[in-house]
Amino acid sequence: MSEKTEVKYTAKDYSTGIDVRWCPGCGDFSILAQVQRSFPQLVGVEKEKIVFISGIGCSSRFPYYMNTYGFHTIHGRAAAIASGVKTANPDLSVWMATGDGDCLSIGGNHFVHLLRRNIDINVLLFNNRIYGLTKGQNSPTSEHGKVTKSTPLGNIEYPVNPIAMAIGVEGTFIARAMDVDTKHLQALIQRAHQHKGTSFIEILQNCVIFNDGAFDNYTLKAHREDRVVYLEHGQPMVFGKEKDKAIKLDGFTPVLIDLKDGKHSVNDALVYNEKSKELAYIISQFSDNSAMPLPVGVFVDLDYSTFEDDMTNQIAEAKKKYGEGDINSLLRGKSSWEIN
C-alpha cells in the first residue's frame, strides 16, 4: 500500500477565481488576501476540511471567494450555523466571517454564547464601524456623536467594545489586527488556527465609501508606531518609532512613561501576560478617547475544554452507563405519554 502524499497548497489554491464584488479600495480585499496566504501554512488541515460560514453584509461575501466549503447564511445567524457544523463534524476546520453589524447587533446573542461555549470555531470580525452593505447607517461600533444616514444629528448610543465584550463572556482566544498590517494579520490567523476553542479576531477594516479613514489615527504608516502598541506575551509594553514610550501600571491604572526622561527604563514597563483576563480587560479599555496607544495582537489565549469535546465525552459516558439505547423501547417505555 502506497503512503499518502502530503499536498502542498498555495494561496492560489484557496481562490475561486470569481470576480470579487467589493468596492475598489475596500479593506476586505486585504483580509481575503491574508487569509488565502495564511491557509497554506495551516498545519494538519486538508483544504477539503475547511468550511467558511457567513451571515449578511459586505464581509459575508467571503465564502464565495474562498475555494473551500462554505455557507452564506442569514443575518446574524452565522454563529448558530457554524456551531451546528462544528458539533456535527468536529473534524472540520470551521471559520466564520462576519461584520460589526451582523455579529454584534442582530447576531449579538449568538456571538456571546458561541464564545462562552468555547466551540472550536475561528471568528473573523470585520469592524468598519458602519453598515456598508446597506449604505452607511450607524452600527454597534460607531462612535458616540457620529453622523450617519440613520443618525443625521449624531449617534446618541455609545459603541460596543468587541474586545472587552469577548473578555467579559469568557472568550478563550481574543485578538485584534488591522487590515493594512498584512504580516501581523497573517500571524494572528495562524495563532487562531492553533488555538483549541473559539478564537476571535477583531480586524479593523476601512470602508472606503461610507466610513473612509475610520482608523487612520492608528493605521497610517506615518504614525502607526507612535499610536499602536503590539501585545507580545512575556514582553514589555514598549512602543514608538524609537521605542522610547512604554506603559506601566500604577495600581490598576495604566500610565504612559517616557523612556528618555532619565527617570524610567524598560524595566519599569508592564510585561504583558496573555494568560491574565484581568490584565487583558484593563488594556482593552484603551480607546479613541484615551491618551493610550491602540493595543493590537493577542489579548487572551487560555486553555479550556471545548464544547464539542465535552459533548462527545458526555455522550460516551451516557452510553457506557445506560447502553446504546433503542428508539422503540424509548417510545414504549415509561418515559413517554399520550395526549387524548
Contact status, residue 298 vs residue 272, Cβ threshold 8 Å: no
Average pLDDT over residues 240-265: 96
At 6 the pLDDT is 72
In a shared domain, residues 108 and 227: yes
In a domain, residue 334? The reply is no
Domains identified in the chain, total number: 2
- pLDDT greater than 60 at residue 1: no
In percent, how much of the chain has pLDDT > 70? 98
Please report, for residues 101, 105, 324, the alpha-carbon distance to residue 77 in angstroms, rounded to integers and kept in the order given: 12, 11, 33
Same domain as 170, residue 49: yes
Higher pLDDT, 123 or 45: 123
The mean predicted confidence, pLDDT, of the chain is 95
| Per-residue model confidence (pLDDT) at position 4 | 60
Write the pLDDT tens digit of every residue in 155-198. 999 999 999 999 999 999 999 999 999 999 999 999 999 999 99
Q: Does 336 reside within a domain? A: no
Instruction: Examine the pLDDT at 45 and tell me if it is beyond 60.
Output: yes
97 and 159 share one domain: yes
Q: State the average pLDDT over residues 130-152.
A: 96
45 belongs to a structural domain? yes
**CA angle, corner 27, sides to 125 and 231, nearest 5?**
55
Adjacent-strand bridge partners of 95: 52, 122
pLDDT band at 287 (very low <50, low <70, confident <90, very high): confident
* Same domain flag for 250 and 290: no
CATH number, position 77: 3.40.50.970
Domain contains 165: yes
* Cα maximum dimension of the chain: 87
Domain check: are 278 and 240 in the same one? no
Per the domain annotation, does 297 fall within a domain? yes
Does position 128 have pLDDT exceeding 60, yes or no?
Answer: yes
pLDDT at residue number 298: 98
Same domain, 116 and 265: no
Residues 43 and 142 in one domain: yes
Which range marks the domain in which residue 255 is found? 236-271
Same domain, 300 and 206: yes
Q: Is residue 318 part of a domain?
A: no
Residue 337, pLDDT > 80, answer no
The residue assigned the cell 450555523 is 81
Q: Give the span between the Cα atoms of 34 and 149, in whole angstroms.
A: 32
Regarding whether 240 and 148 lie in a shared domain, the answer is no
Question: Could you tell me if residue 178 is inside a domain?
Answer: yes
Task: Return d(Cα 23, Cα 12) in angstroms, integer.
Answer: 22
Residues 244 and 165 reside in one and the same domain: no
Q: Among positive and negative, which fits the CA dihedral 177, 57, 147, 25? A: positive
Q: Tally Cβ neighbours within 10 Å of residue 274.
A: 21
Find the mean pLDDT for residues 85-111: 97
Answer yes or no: do 191 and 301 share one domain: yes
Measured CA to CA, the distance from residue 317 to residue 102 in angstroms comes to 38
What's the pTM value of the predicted model, to 2 decimals? 0.94
Domain for residue 88, yes or no?
yes
Say if CB 309 and CB 278 are below 8 A apart.
no
Place 31 in a pLDDT band, splitting at 50, 70 and 90.
Answer: very high
Residues 79, 191, single domain; the answer is yes
| Predicted local confidence at residue 5, as pLDDT | 64
